Amino acid sequence: MNRQSLVAKMLHLQVASALVCILLYFALLFATRAGLSYYNNHSDIQQRSIARQVERFQKYVTAQEISAKDTRAIDDWVGQQSFLLMNIYRGHRMLYSNFSFSFGDGPDEEREPGSNFSFSFGDGSDEERESGESWQVFYPVQFSDGPAQVQLFCNVVLNWWVLFSKLLIVFCVGVFLVVFWFACRRIVKYIIQLSEEIQAMEGGDLDHPITIRGDDELTTLARCLDSMRVTLRQQQEEEAKASAKVKNLITEMSHDLRTPLTTLLLYTEIVRSRKYENDAQKDDYLNKIDTKARQLKQLSDNLFEYALVTRDTVVTLDPPAYFSRIFEEPLAEMVDTLQQRGFACALDLGSEDLMLTVKMQYIRRVFDNITSNAIKYADPGREISVTFRKEEKWVGLRFANHVLPGQHREESTQVGLTSIETMMEKMNAVCRVEQGTEQFAITLLFPIT
């Protein structure tokens, strides 16, 4: 699956939001222009606006006692207005103009420094003025040096146009921010959701899965977090199982140690107090003391072996080897030991020689535990069978023996079996125990390499 970069996604959102705002800006600008144009053509807004400007100019002239030739003061007032052009006439002579062009060749003696232009129309005849300016509107203004005629050109619609344009820019920028925020809100909500789920993990809640959504860097982060959550939960479960197993083992071990210790102390006290009838009874008590002492030694050895096995957190397996090469020597030693103890063994190892990956040190310990278990609890009058087993992609051996009649299994903690199961787990193998009143069997299965 192609992953879309979060940076590219944000860039796409910005471009899309900008395009929406640009289109909206030009659409509103066109509508505003059309509306203002229609209003300007169907109202007397221009005339009313010019009349107001003339009235304000008259108040300014009166208050400042300005003459018609005081171009600096007139320039100051005109400069404060927006989109305003002004001509001032007295008689047939232009005294002031802020136009950026001039007409005619008239003398400019009447023009003060700082003013824009001073010119006259033609030769100053009344006929020429009336014919050339009949369409123009002049407003009388009383200056300090006498009256004059003022001609104004003011475009109030243009003022509104500029104002609306600025407002539209501000509005569209706001729309851009709002559109971009709504577009990013999904990403922000996902980040907040991941933050809340991480806090839940930090608080110990490893059962709630991390939400995986999208195909960007946040998705990759979510997958990694969920994988970490699963790993931590598995580790917690394994630690809880191991802790429960150890607690149970300690509880049962203390009980099993107490029983032989009590018997050992009892017989020791009898011998020390000489409460026996003859030497034969004394020897019998000493033999029982020796048996209980050996039993305690066996329990301590099994416990020590279990501690060694559980201590190895990381196990490196040996290179792959054939089935026959792995089990030939341990089986030979096991059969020899059992035969010396009076047991008969029946072997059926099949004909398949498959590749397995094991740790030979653990294999020898497993066989030693099975041998020790058989010596203590198996019936010497019945055969101990060792059978080849294959189940799909697993292969191994099954050991079975009949339990000695009337034999009470004093090692109720089964530390030896627990050690076998632990070593098999570390080799990625399986251990199955079948325990009944008359028969005991243990099956070891290893994955085929």
Q: What is the 3-state secondary structure (H, E, C) of 262-283?
A: HHHHHHHHHHHCCCCCCHHHHH
Q: Residue 117 has what pLDDT?
A: 36
Q: How many other CB atoms sit within 10 Å of the CB of residue 366?
A: 23
Q: Residue 149 has what pLDDT?
A: 92
Query: Mind listing the pLDDT tens digit for each residue in 22-41?
Result: 888 888 888 888 887 887 77
Q: Residue 134 has what pLDDT?
A: 40
Query: Mind listing the pLDDT tens digit for each residue in 79-135?
Result: 888 778 889 998 888 889 887 543 334 434 344 333 333 333 333 334 433 433 444
CA distance 54 to 60: 10
Region of 104 (left: φ > 0; alpha: ψ -120 to 50; beta: rest) is: left
Q: Residue 106 has what pLDDT?
A: 40
Residues in the chain with pLDDT < 50?
1, 101-135, 410-413
Q: Residue 103 has what pLDDT?
A: 39
Q: Residue 239 has what pLDDT?
A: 83
Rounded to two decimals, the pTM is 0.47
Backbone angles phi, psi at 207, to 5 degrees: -90, -25
Enter the CATH code of domain 315-449.
3.30.565.10
Q: Residue 118 has what pLDDT?
A: 35
